[in-house]
Structure 1
Amino acid sequence: MTDQFDDRKARASQWFRRLRDEIVAAFEALEDAQGGPAPAGRFEVTETRRQSEDGSDAGGGLMSVMRGGRVFEKVGVNVSTVHGQLGERAVAAMAARKDLSGLKDDPTFWASGISLVAHMQNPHVPAVHMNTRMFWTPVAWWFGGGSDLNPAIEYAEDTEHFHAVLKEHCDPHGADLYPRFKDWADEYFYVPHRHRARGVGGIFYDDLNTGDWEADFAFTQDVGRAFLPAFLGCVERRKHMPFTEEDRERQLVHRGLYAEYNLVYDRGTKFGLETGHDANAVLMSLPPIAKWT
């Protein structure tokens, strides 16, 4: 299984990197087009490395973060390709979701993906999250990911647009996928201790393995392709809207909710920290400023 997947691993890793490059370029172009006295934001790019428990190299990636831009207050776009041995807690968490008989005997893993979170200057512009990834072990492989919109001030037009673009990209792969993965996002991005959703949803999927790697990879690529048209339409409608101190307060409190979710429930955060990936890259999703009432 290892040999036949070498090419597939390389293709997946290269795709996530290309998507990262497209998004970074689009976001910097958005900064340039905004105008204003403040300088256009630019991404600071840092190479990240993962070390195994014995100190050997275990892959890494790029952490790209823009702070204090005209449109983006903080946005991070990370890509990584890492490998090594899964710890007992990670194996147990995965085994609870799927049959991974044999993984305890050989906990080797390989993972590659892109992860993005954007927190905006204007409270009327929604925050957003997107990630897609491929995971491989000697006994199984799968894809996961999705994207969801997180407005502090909700607009039905933005929600409808975001979901319509996601549906448009999901439908060619099966009419059942968008409603199924929308429901999964509604369940996954729910904050139990606040008795509310994190935002207005999107799609979420994990453990995707239909047995047809090419089909599952093609779907995952389209989830990535959907992101820019889904999100930029919302940004263009709201980025010039005037806002008040009350609007800003609502934004900061909503960011507190976002931070709570990511630190308490998010699978990606837990996995990244438990497997020794760069902590700054894992916690890139946290907002620069937040409040709690």
Structure 2
Amino acid sequence: MSDPFSDQKARASAWFRTLRDDIVSAFHALEDSHSSGPLSDAPAGRVEVSKTHRASDDGSDAGGGEMSVMRGGRVFEKVGVNISTVHGTLGKRAQAAMAARKGIPGMADDPRFWASGISLVAHMQNPHVPAVHMNTRMFWTPHAWWFGGGSDLNPAIEYDEDTEHFHAVQKEALDPHGADHYPRFKTWADEYFFIPHRNRPRGVGGVFMDDYCTGEWDADFTLTQDMGRAFLPAFLPLVEKRRVQDWSEEDKHAQLVHRGLYAEYNLVYDRGTKFGLETGHDANAVLMSLPPLAKWV
């Protein structure tokens, strides 16, 4: 059976790989250029790439991806930039969740799906450098397709000018697609990245979208690409500015406690974590977002 969406799927999957490659190159450059300040005499970190696989019930090929993880660098304590392209059929639980949340009819009759995306989480050595999250993805079923994702900043020690810069770059990327996009996606991020049991957001926000489908695939794909392209100019200047600052034991303590907050959100509320585990994707890849060290008080 021919797939009328095969070209769009191939283009999306290729883009997420290209974005991954660009980000990894930029992170290697950060490691190499860190020549003064804390940990500048440590070995420069490098990303290690490993294959991931999605487990299917019948043992057939269900796709997979690549984990690109750096641990213990000069600048990055742990950063993962994962890509994946997976397919198969949704289980009963995932079908029910999809039907309830997205209102997609017919999932029980034809539960096939295809999904591709990039997912990034960076936990930094220096407590003054903010942690950050970014992901964009495309999801397809025979009944509907959509894009999702975004980028948000998670500083343990907040600097207003860093927050302003991060949001300004996101707004600049979104404004050509419509003046309402940035305020709408910012509000979406504020609501999505909120931790009810702590009654607080997990960071200083960013932009986020889900179930995004105007019916014009090319336009929606271009929007998704522009959101991905905005990540490096939004984040890199903050790293370059803060990585040279000295830190105290109190600063490191604040960072580790904030990481505990981040872990709580990802394990309890994050829909991507739940979906990845429920659909049989590699658990190490799904849980890549967790920090290497954290504290609870």
Q: TM-score, normalised by structure 2?
A: 0.97
Q: Deviations over 1:186-229 (max 9, x none)?
A: 00000000010000000110000101000000000000000000
Q: Deviations over 1:226-269 (max 9, x none)?
A: 00000011111111011000000000000000000000000100
- Counterpart among 137, 143, 146 of residue 133 in structure 1: 137
Q: Root-mean-square deviation (CA), in Å?
A: 0.9
User: Aligned partners of 1:197, 1:89: CA distance in 2, in Å?
Assistant: 28
| Letter aligned with residue 104 of structure 1 | A
User: Aligned partners of 2:262, 2:95: CA distance in 1, in Å?
Assistant: 27
Is the partner of 1:162 in helix, strand or coil? helix
**Dislocated runs of 4+, deviation >4 Å:** none
User: Aligned partners of 1:81, 1:139: CA distance in 2, in Å?
Assistant: 19
Using the TM superposition, give the Cα deviation of residue 101 of structure 1 relative to its aligned residue in structure 2, in angstroms.
Answer: 0.7
| Letter aligned with residue 274 of structure 2 | K
Using the TM superposition, give the Cα deviation of residue 282 of structure 1 relative to its aligned residue in structure 2, in angstroms.
Answer: 0.2
| Letter aligned with residue 45 of structure 1 | V
| Letter aligned with residue 6 of structure 1 | S
Residue 88 (structure 1) aligned with residue 92 (structure 2): yes
Q: Who is 1:67 aligned against? A: 71
Q: Deviations over 1:115-151 (max 9, x none)?
A: 0000000000000000000000000000000000000
- The equivalences for 1:3-22 within 5 A come to 3-22=3-22
Is the partner of 2:218 in helix, strand or coil? helix
- The equivalences for 1:206-285 within 5 A come to 206-285=210-289
Using the TM superposition, give the Cα deviation of residue 2 of structure 1 relative to its aligned residue in structure 2, in angstroms.
Answer: 6.2
- The equivalences for 1:49-128 within 5 A come to 49-128=53-132
Is the partner of 1:51 in helix, strand or coil? coil
Specify every segment of 5 or more residues in structure 2 that has no aligned partner in the other structure, as ranges.
none
Is the partner of 2:3 in helix, strand or coil? helix
Residue 40 (structure 1) aligned with residue 44 (structure 2): yes
Q: Who is 1:173 aligned against? A: 177
Question: Sequence identity of aligned pairs in percent?
Answer: 78
Farther off after superposition, 27-36 or 112-121: 27-36
Q: Deviations over 1:41-84 (max 9, x none)?
A: 00010011112111112001100000000000000000000000
Is the partner of 2:251 in helix, strand or coil? helix
Instruction: Give the conservation status (yes or no) of the 8 Å contact 1:186–1:202.
Output: yes
User: Aligned partners of 1:89, 1:220: CA distance in 2, in Å?
Assistant: 28
Instruction: Give the conservation status (yes or no) of the 8 Å contact 1:2–1:138.
Output: no
Q: Who is 1:27 aligned against? A: 27
Residue 203 (structure 1) aligned with residue 229 (structure 2): no
Specify every segment of 5 or more residues in structure 1 that has no aligned partner in the other structure, as ranges.
none
Q: TM-score, normalised by structure 1?
A: 0.99
Using the TM superposition, give the Cα deviation of residue 3 of structure 1 relative to its aligned residue in structure 2, in angstroms.
Answer: 2.2
